[in-house]
Amino acid sequence: MNFTQALLEDQRLFILRVLDELPGFSSNVSALQSALDMSAGHRLSRDAALALVDWLDEVGLVTKENLDPRICVVKLTQRGSDVAQGRAHVTGVKRPRPGV
């Protein structure tokens, strides 16, 4: 695995873990983009954040709803929660360390 792939896997796990901790298990992409920057040190463009969400949606870990062209709401699925908590594994998402 190269560094770019490892970074993507870490970013995907981070999004799942953030959603797993939120009331309602949902957020908008802008808030997730800010969380990636502030809490994980991942500075991403909006397009890059949307690409992460699109990938997570394609593999069934989140659902997304476009309220209008500027607002995309992302909601964690049960499978996404299982991956975030380390109960399941999906290739392309970093596995959480035990006890974290």
Tens-place pLDDT, residues 54-98 = 999 999 999 999 988 889 999 999 999 999 999 999 999 999 987
Delimit the domains of the chain by residue range: 25-84
> What are the phi and psi torsion angles at 40 (to 5°)?
-120, -5
In order of 30, 53, 85, the CA distances from 48 in angstroms are 11, 9, 24
From CA 40, how far away is CA 63, in angstroms rounded? 22
- Secondary structure of residue 81 in the 3-state scheme: helix
| Annotation: CATH topology of 25-84 | Arc Repressor Mutant, subunit A (1.10.10)
Predicted TM-score (pTM) of the model is: 0.93
Q: Are 56 and 62 in contact (CB under 8 A)?
A: yes
Confidence at residue 97, expressed as pLDDT on a 0 to 100 scale = 85
